[in-house]
Structure 1
Amino acid sequence: MILVGAVSEIPVGESVRVQGQVAIAVFNVDGEFYAIDDTCTHQDASLSDGWLEGCAVECPLHAACFDLRTGRPSGPPARKAVRTHEVVLVDGQVYVHETIGNNDTVERPAYAEEVA
Structure 2
Amino acid sequence: MSATRVCSLSELEQDAAKRVVIDGTPIAVVKDSNGDVHAIGDTCTHGDISLSDGFVEGDTLECWAHGSAFSLVTGRPLNLPAYEPVPVYEVTIEGDDVLIDPAVTKAVTPDIH
Contact 2:90/2:104 (8 A) holds in 1: no
Structure 2: gaps spanning 5 or more residues: none
TM-score (norm 1): 0.83
Which residue does 2:68 correspond to in 1?
64
More off after superposition, 14-23 vs 78-87: 14-23
DSSP 3-state at the match of 2:39: strand
Which residue does 2:101 correspond to in 1?
97
Runs of 4+ in 1 over 2 A off after TM superposition: none
Taking the TM superposition and a 5 Å limit, the aligned residue runs for 1:65-84 are 65-84=69-88
Which residue does 2:5 correspond to in 1?
3
Taking the TM superposition and a 5 Å limit, the aligned residue runs for 1:1-116 are 1-20=3-22, 21-29=24-32, 30-99=34-103
Structure 1: gaps spanning 5 or more residues: none
**In structure 2, C-alpha distance between the alignment counterparts of 1:58 and 1:36, rounded to whole Å:** 12
Contact 1:86/1:99 (8 A) holds in 2: no
- The sequence identity of aligned pairs, in percent, is 37
Report the RMSD for the aligned CA atoms in angstroms: 2.0
DSSP 3-state at the match of 2:29: strand
**In structure 1, C-alpha distance between the alignment counterparts of 2:69 and 2:13, rounded to whole Å:** 21
DSSP 3-state at the match of 1:66: strand
Equivalent AA in structure 2 for residue 51 of structure 1:
F
DSSP 3-state at the match of 2:100: strand
Equivalent AA in structure 2 for residue 14 of structure 1:
A
Aligned length: 107
- Greater helix percent: which structure? 1
- Greater strand percent: which structure? 2
Q: In the TM superposition, what is the alpha-carbon distance from 1:98 to its structure 2 partner?
A: 1.3
TM-score (norm 2): 0.85
